[in-house]
């Protein structure tokens, strides 16, 4: 039987600005091989599948797949799926929270606003500093050749997915940076990481506080349009160094302009030190998926 299939843009104030996501809101009966085949076919960064929860207190259960493998946690699939779950009437927030059951446990998502202005933020798994590199580290210099560094040293952050977070001198330097993809892939493989997440403080007068770029070297080599998990690991590194921009532990990151997008991610560090990564989601496509075995 055909199943409902939706496609949306996440961390986007308009269609076409954010990171695309495919969602099947009723995935009961699908096995892992079928879900992986569907995700490979959609060729989207991730495709998610929604199931009834199995743990007490959870609003729903989610499985996430990239075209290559199942993903334990990622930010933009979490935010986008929560949007679909509410729109489809599968679950509603209680005291402003949804609870998502997944491979990393049951995580809360905070929901604020309504309609097109609604924002959803997932509390990311706690990230830790796995390694700190020196300024001028040859691995980083090879991955980002000829760019001027910022004040903080590069760090390998582990928040479920591992990223090298690297500060550059200013926004213009970040936006003009051209990675050496072979070196990014070598660094990713050697450190079991996704690649390099470069950032810089925004120029004066911008609507965002940071500009960021995600150079993925694990598997396919590409620049990610918007990554909630990578931004959450960066927020943890900024909090670790007491250099969080914005006010009250809240700031906005701009991502994706260099690859034709214009994502806006809203980050928050709460009083307990937890990172909330979120933004808006836009519906783009709604239809049915007629797949063998479904």
Is the sign of the CA dihedral 258, 254, 11, 48 positive or negative? positive
Q: Which of 28, 46, 101, 117 is catalytic?
A: 46
Are 109 and 239 members of one domain?
no
68 lies in some domain? yes
Sequence-distant (≥ 6) Cβ neighbours of residue 90 within 8 angstroms: 25, 50, 59, 60, 84
Residues 233 and 96 placed together within one structural domain of the fold:
no
Is 177 in the same domain as 99?
no
Question: Is 183 inside a domain boundary?
Answer: yes
Q: Is residue 294 part of a domain?
A: no
Residue span of the structural domain in which 37 resides: 3-123+280-289
Please say whether the beta carbons of 69 and 79 come within 8 A. no
Same domain (yes/no): 269, 176 = yes
pLDDT per residue as tens digits for the range 72-126: 999 999 999 999 999 999 999 999 999 999 999 999 999 999 888 899 999 999 9
Distance of alpha carbon 25 from the chain centroid: 20
Q: Are residues 21 and 140 in the same domain?
A: no
* pLDDT band, residue 1 (cuts 50/70/90): confident
CATH number for 259: 3.10.310.10
Instruction: Tell me how far apart the alpha carbons of residues 132 and 134 are, in angstroms, rounded to a whole number.
Output: 7
More confident residue, 220 or 134: 134
Query: CA-to-CA distance for 187 and 203, rounded, in angstroms?
Result: 29
- Number of Cβ within 10 Å of residue 288's Cβ equals 10
Residue range 4-62, pLDDT digits in tens: 999 999 999 899 999 999 999 999 999 999 999 999 999 999 999 999 999 999 999 99
- Check residue 294 and give its pLDDT: 56
* 225 belongs to a structural domain: yes
153 and 107, same domain (yes or no): no
- Is position 27 within any domain? yes
pLDDT at 278: 97
Q: Are residues 145 and 61 in the same domain?
A: no
pLDDT for 262: 95
227-259 tens-digit pLDDT? 999 999 999 999 999 999 999 999 999 999 999
211 found inside a domain:
yes
Together in a domain, 102 and 226: no
Do 118 and 136 lie in a common domain? no
Task: Tell me the per-residue pLDDT of 134-162, one tens digit each, with 9 for 90 and over.
Answer: 999 999 999 999 999 999 999 999 998 89
In a domain, 50, yes or no: yes
131 flagged as catalytic = no
Q: Hey, what are 104's tokens?
A: 């990393």
Instruction: Compute the chain's Rg from CA coordinates.
Output: 18
Residues 90 and 176 in one domain: no
Look at residue 224 and tell me whether its pLDDT is greater than 70: yes
Query: 276 by DSSP, 3-state: which?
Result: strand
Task: Tally the domains of the chain.
Answer: 2
Regarding whether 181 and 165 lie in a shared domain, the answer is: yes
Same domain, 211 and 191: yes
At 220 the pLDDT is 85
């Amino acid at each position: 039987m055909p199943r409902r299939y939706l496609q949306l843009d996440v961390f986007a104030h308009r269609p076409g600005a954010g990171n695309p996501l495919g969602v099947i809101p009723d995935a009961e009966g699908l096995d892992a091989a079928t879900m992986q085949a569907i995700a490979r076919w959609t060729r989207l960064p991730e495709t998610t599948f929604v199931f009834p929860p199995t743990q007490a207190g959870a609003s729903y259960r989610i499985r996430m797949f990239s075209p290559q493998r199942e993903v334990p946690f990622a930010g933009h699939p979490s935010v986008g799926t929560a949007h679909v779950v509410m729109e489809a009437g599968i679950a509603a927030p209680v005291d402003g929270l949804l609870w998502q059951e997944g491979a990393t446990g049951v995580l809360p998502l905070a929901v604020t606003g309504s309609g097109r202005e609604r924002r959803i933020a997932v509390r990311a798994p706690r990230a830790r500093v796995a390694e700190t590199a020196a300024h001028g580290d040859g691995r980083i210099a090879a991955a980002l050749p000829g760019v001027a560094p910022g004040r903080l040293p590069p760090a390998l952050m582990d928040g479920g997915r591992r990223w090298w977070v690297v500060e550059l001198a200013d926004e213009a330097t970040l936006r003009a940076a051209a990675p050496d993809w072979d070196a990014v892939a070598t660094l990713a493989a050697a450190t079991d990481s996704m690649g390099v997440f470069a950032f810089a403080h925004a120029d004066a007068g911008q609507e965002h506080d940071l500009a960021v770029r995600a150079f993925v070297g694990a598997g396919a080599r590409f620049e990610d349009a918007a990554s909630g998990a990578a931004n959450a690991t960066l927020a943890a590194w900024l909090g670790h160094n007491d250099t969080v921009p914005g006010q009250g532990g809240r700031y906005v990151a701009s991502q994706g302009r260099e690859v034709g997008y214009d994502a806006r991610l809203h980050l928050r560090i709460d009083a307990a030190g937890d990172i909330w990564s979120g933004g808006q989601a836009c519906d783009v496509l709604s239809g049915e998926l007629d797949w063998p075995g479904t």
